[in-house]
Homo-oligomer: A and B are copies of this chain.
Amino acid sequence: MKEADEVRTLRAKLDLKGAHLTKQRAAVFAYLSAVDHHPTAEEVFLAVKRDVPKISLATVYKNLEALVACHAATKLNYGDAAARYDIRTSPHYHTRCLKCGRISDLDPVPENELTQLIKPPEGFAALDYRIEIAGYCKNCSDQKEE
């Protein structure tokens, strides 16, 4: 999908919630689309500030939540203190490095095999499987702490 299409899709998703597409919101979305990992709000803030110097951290938070609300992004609360945001909204899973904190994508897992192996108890209405493998990423594997 070329960039113009992505923006059109985003605008449509926002429209459904009566939300506007501002310069700040577009910049947050663009950064989330550009990076290959899943940054914290702080990281997004620092990066986006290069394009929109006057943007505030509160605005970044509000925009990240707006993207989540219109299903243009996903919030990842697994793991450490600061939440992370992910531009992908289709089901997929993550690795998390215990040393550097980086969250990356896992190779796809067949949906049906997964739900067959892992079943919720009677009466629990499952909406979302969340899977994370914690460990040491390639870069950190060498210098890992005790």
Contacts and interface: CB of A to CB of B under 8 A. Distances in A.
Contact of A106 (B77, B121, B123, B138): B121
B138 A120 contact: no
Interface in A108-134: 109-110, 113-114, 117-134
B120 A95 contact: yes
A132 B130 contact: yes
A136 B124 contact: yes
Number of copies: 2
Contacts of A109: 117-118
Contact of A127 (B78, B113, B135): B135
Contact of A124 (B95, B117, B124, B131): B95
B126 A135 contact: yes
B131 A107 contact: no
A131 B106 contact: no
A136 B121 CA distance: 11
A111 B16 CA distance: 43
Given A77-B78, A98-B127, A127-B98, A120 B135 contact: yes
Interface of A: 77-80, 93, 95, 98, 104, 106-107, 109-110, 113-114, 117-138, 141, 144
